[in-house]
Amino acid sequence: MRLEKMRSLKNNKWVWLLPVLIMYSCSSGGQYWRVRVEMPRPVSFELERFQEMVVTDFLVLKERSDFDLNKETTEYFAFEFGKNIQIPVSRTKIAPESVEIFEQEDFWTDIPTANEDAIIFTGTIDYKSEVRKALVDREKRQFEDPFPDSTALEERKFFTLFFSLYLIDSKTGKTLYQKDFKETRNYQNPNQTAYFAYFDLIQSVKDKLFQAFLGEELLQERYLIAK
């Protein structure tokens, strides 16, 4: 299992030296070496201590007319977690009507699961788009007059994703993990659609969740000092 492999790496205090053989640069004085190594991140919540993950419908705070926000979100995370964790990942439909549903423990214990010890992946989601003016640096072209670089107001399409995650214990109905995300991105392309921008933003959320749940490696710099 992925987590067991990472724990074994953490227990070996010398394992981070392995990339040194192929990733280092020597300083001009020859007194130390600056190396880039991959260090495992600490896991903030261990998903794989459960027997199953159940991805349920999300509470959409404001429905969109251009695409089904709940469908795209649940399908995306069911697929991504299904190929990256060792426990089974399933989907089930619910009908969340308000944010108060996350405090109703009986509601979550009544959700059918294939395994008794399951973690429920759910939450709220909202997605907004707007056109705003932004200050943009203008690059000087070659052979232009030697004036300083200038800035100008240009229109940009901004998309913002509000994502609140709840991980709920299927046996007790209690929330074991909760985190809010706000991801914003702007595009110069005036024809950028909300649908395609959504996947850029939801991927940013996914990357942060994977760092928290799977402890993906972080590239860092270290120094080896010669005595």
pLDDT of residue 156: 85
34 bridge partner residues: 25, 223
Q: For residue range 200-216, what is the model confidence (pLDDT) as tens digits?
A: 999 999 999 998 888 76
Q: Which pair of structure tokens corresponds to residue 161?
A: 């994703």
Mean pLDDT across the stretch 173-190? Answer: 94
Structure-model confidence comparison of residues 189 and 159, the more confident one = 159
Is residue 183's pLDDT more than 50?
yes
165 CA to centre of own chain: 11
Q: What is the pTM of this model?
A: 0.71
Could you tell me whether strands 32-40 and 217-225 are parallel, antiparallel, or unpaired per DSSP bridges? antiparallel
Domain ranges of the chain: 45-133+149-213
- Alpha carbons 165 and 177: distance in angstroms, whole number: 8
Q: How confident is the model over 13-64, as pLDDT tens digits?
A: 444 444 444 444 444 455 666 666 666 667 778 888 999 999 999 999 999 9
3-state secondary structure of 220: strand
Does 189 score more than 90 pLDDT?
Answer: no
Query: Residue 133's pLDDT is what?
Result: 74
| In the block, residue with structure tokens 């020859």 | 30
Q: Which two tokens stand for residue 119?
A: 């973690």
Closest residue by Cα to residue 36 from 52, 53, 19, 54: 19
The residues, ordered by sequence, that sit 6+ positions from 216 with a Cβ below 8 Å of its Cβ are 40, 41, 210
**In the chain, % of residues over pLDDT 70:** 68
The closest of 44, 79, 37, 72 to 58, measured between CA atoms, is 72
Instruction: Report the 10 Å Cβ neighbour count for 56.
Output: 22
pLDDT at site 58:
97
pLDDT in tens, 126-154: 999 988 776 666 555 555 555 555 566 77
Contact 177, 165 (CB under 8 A): yes
Average pLDDT estimate for 85-105: 94
Q: How far apart, in whole angstroms, are the C-alpha atoms of residue 24 and residue 212?
A: 28
Q: What is the mean pLDDT of the chain?
A: 80
Compute the radius of gyration of the chain from its Cα atoms.
23
Q: Please report the pLDDT score of residue 26 as a whole number.
A: 46
| Secondary structure of residue 149 in the 3-state scheme | coil
The answer on pLDDT for 192 being more than 60 is yes
| Model pLDDT for residues 97-118, shown as the tens digit of each residue | 899 999 999 999 999 999 989 9
- Starting at the edge strand found earlier in the chain, the sheet holding 217-225 runs 24-26, 32-40, 217-225
pLDDT of res. 135:
66
45-133+149-213 belongs to which CATH class? alpha beta
